[in-house]
Structures are given as C-alpha cells and as structure tokens.
Chain A
Amino acid sequence: MTLFPIVTITPMKGLLYCSMTVVVYLTAWQLHNRFKYSMLNPLLVSILVVVGILLVGNIPYSDYEQGGDWLSNLLGIAVVALGVPLYQQMRDIHRELTGVILVVFVSSLFALVSTVILAVLAGADGQVALSLAPKSVTTPIAVLIVDNLNGVPSLAAIAVILTGLMGAIFGLPLLSLLKITDPKARGIAMGTACHALGTARMVQSSLKEGAYSALALVLSASISALMAPWLVPWVLGWLN
C-alpha cells in the first residue's frame, strides 16, 4: 500500500516536470528566434516561467526537483560532448597553448582576488567573501575549494550559478560592448569568467568560440583549485 504510490507517482511527477521544462524552453527558444531580442534569452525566460508556474501552482521545489534532476543529470554528458569542438580546434589551440594558459592563469587569479575585494566592499564578512571567491569556476570545483577553506558551499553554488546566468544571458552583447571581437579571445573570456553556463551559450553561437571557452573552463578550474587555497586567505588577511 505504501510502496505502490511511491513507485508509480514519483516517476510520473519526474516525467511531468521534466517535460514541462522542455516545453517551456522550446517555446522560449521559438520566441527568441522570432523576435531576435537579446533580453528574451531562452534560459532566463524559461527559469522565470518555471518559477512562475511553481508559485502559481503552489508546487514545492522538492517536487519539481524530481523532474529537474533528470535534466541536470545529463549535464555530465553535455560537458563530455564539448570534447568534440575542443578536438576540432586542436590544431589551432596547440599553436597558441602557451598564450592561452598564460592569459587564463592571470585572469583566474584576478577573478579570485577581485571577487574577494568586491565582496568585502559590499560589506560581506570573511566567511562569505571566501565562499564567493571561486564564482567563476565550475560548480563541483567551486564547492570543493570553499569546503577546504571552511566557507559555505551552498553559498558558493549560488554565486557560481548567478555568475553563469550573467554570462549566458548578457555575455555575448557584453563581449561586443567591451570590444572583444576576436573569436578566440571571446571564447577565453567567457570560459574563464562564466564556466559551463557561459560555454553552453557560446557553443550555440559558434563552435570555434565554444572550443576556446571549453578549454578556458578546464584551465581555470585547475588553476583556481591549485591557487585558491593559499591566495584567498592571503587576500583576506591583507584586506583586514
């Protein structure tokens, strides 16, 4: 009696919320293609519409999560798939690898330091500031870094997501505004600043930019994991 409803209803809910998300996204995608207006970003619109549906329908997030997890679990495969554009640009990348590593190294250190300084300027205490520090790094690595620094991992996850959304929604117009026009530079800037979320947007607009973004994502994750454990406490100590 108790087991039966769990077995049948849980997958049904999962299927329902998963397909709802897909339908919302496809509609947002159609709207975006119809009107070509950058504020109609499919990701932003979908998130807002789904949140609206949950609020109006009084659906608890834990219910939605069952379907949402179906999609989130595919992310691992999507990240692996980025190996294809990476391979296609390998000859180009190989020639400039030193330059790319150098730029991502400097930018990753800058990202860690500037985030800590900005957080402190906004009135955050030490623990919050160090939890935000790896905001430009992909979630699993950011959570690990913050865990090692005795910060708040869930706060780190939020900072990572907000940063990624920022890149996915405003990243492309922002790069043009900053006069970053070289496809390689655009990819590197997006991958370093906005990890997988920014890369997902980039790879939709151009595979070449996407390949450099994927490369920068890998490099900045490794560099930040290596440098954050001593750099972040050092900056915090210097600010106090």
Chain B
Amino acid sequence: MKIAFVCQRMAAWLSSVIILMACLWAGDLLSVWINHALPGSIIGMLLLAALLGSGLIRLSWVETGAGFIIRWMSLLFVPIGVGVVDQLNLLASSLGALLLTSLLGTVLVMAVSGWLFQWLERTRQ
C-alpha cells in the first residue's frame, strides 16, 4: 500500500521532469529556427499549454513538478539579483536614469495596463 503510493509519487515527479525538460528542449530548437524572435523557454511554455489543451499530455503528468518549481520560482532569481552587485560601475554610471525608469516607470506601466483592462472589463458589462 505504502510502496504503491511512493512509486506513484516518484512516477509523477519523473514524468513532470521529463515533460518540462522536453518542452524546454523543443522550445530551444524552435527558437533557433525562428531566429530567436522568442526565447526557448517562452516557446516551451506555450508548447506545454498547447499540449495540455489538446489532451496529448494530461495535467496529472506534469502538475507535481510544475507546481513545485512555480512555488519556488523566486528563489531562482536570487543569484541574478546578486549579480547586479558585480556590475556596480555600470549601475553607478547611469544611476539616476536606472532608478527613475525602474521605480517610477514601473508604477506608470502597471497603472496604465491595469486601469486600461479594468476599464475595458467594466464597459463590456
């Protein structure tokens, strides 16, 4: 009983990892083919959604691994954030422009896109 459960979990993990890696691999191949107009990971994301939508892949085959890595996705950005420290000279050279665009600029873009969509939703109802 318990062994069956463990085997089932392991199979769920294994199939998730294989499917996610296969989608990334296929995405990378397609990305080269379209001259890197979109990165392989994004093509892989669309491919996975399409495969799930078409029923070729079942949700239960990928949701274990996908749910796990999505839950911990922020962790993967820690080294990238630390990497900014390695480029302090470049950062300092355009500090004002970088801060103004990433702080105020981001607020503006969020406001425009969020308000626009809410306004569109409201007018449609």
Q: Which residues of A contact B (CB under 8 A)?
A: 21-22, 24-25, 42-43, 46-47, 50-51, 54, 61, 64-65, 67-69, 71-72, 74-88, 90, 99-100, 102-104, 106-107, 110-111, 114-115, 118-119, 121-124, 128-129, 132, 135-136, 138, 140-141, 144, 152, 154-155, 158-159, 161-168, 171, 174-175, 178, 180-182, 184-186, 188-190, 192-194, 197, 200-201, 203-204, 210, 214, 216-218, 221-222, 225
In contact, A87 and B102 (Cβ under 8 angstroms): no
In contact, A182 and B117 (Cβ under 8 angstroms): yes
- Residue B32, interface by CB 8 Å: no
In contact, A54 and B82 (Cβ under 8 angstroms): yes
Chain B residues with CB below 8 A from A111, complex form: 105, 109
In contact, B83 and A168 (Cβ under 8 angstroms): no
Bound-state Cα–Cα, A123 to B37, Å: 31
Q: Which residue of B lies closest to A133 (CB)?
A: B101
Known interface pairs A71-B79, A159-B102, A161-B80; A43-B38 also in contact (CB < 8 Å)? no
Q: Which residue of A lies closest to B102 (CB)?
A: A162
Q: Which residue of B lies closest to A25 (CB)?
A: B75
In contact, B117 and A214 (Cβ under 8 angstroms): no
Give residues 79-125 of B contacting A (CB, 8 Å).
Answer: 79-87, 90-91, 94, 96-118, 120-121, 124
Known interface pairs A87-B59, A107-B113; A132-B74 also in contact (CB < 8 Å)? no
13 contacts between A and B (CB under 8 A): A42-B74, A72-B76, A76-B44, A77-B69, A87-B52, A107-B109, A119-B97, A158-B90, A163-B102, A163-B106, A166-B106, A180-B115, A182-B118
In contact, A144 and B36 (Cβ under 8 angstroms): yes
Bound-state Cα–Cα, A89 to B67, Å: 15
- Residue B30, interface by CB 8 Å: no
Bound-state Cα–Cα, A132 to B98, Å: 7
Q: A24-B78, A80-B44, A193-B109 are in contact. List 14 more A-B contacts (CB 8 A).
A: A54-B85, A67-B79, A77-B41, A78-B70, A107-B112, A140-B39, A152-B90, A155-B94, A159-B102, A166-B106, A171-B110, A175-B110, A178-B115, A181-B118
Query: Which residue of A69, A182, A200 has the most chain B CB atoms within 10 A of its CB atom?
Result: A200
How close is B123's CB to chain A, nearest CB, in angstroms?
10
How close is B75's CB to chain A, nearest CB, in angstroms?
5
Chain B residues with CB below 8 A from A186, complex form: 114
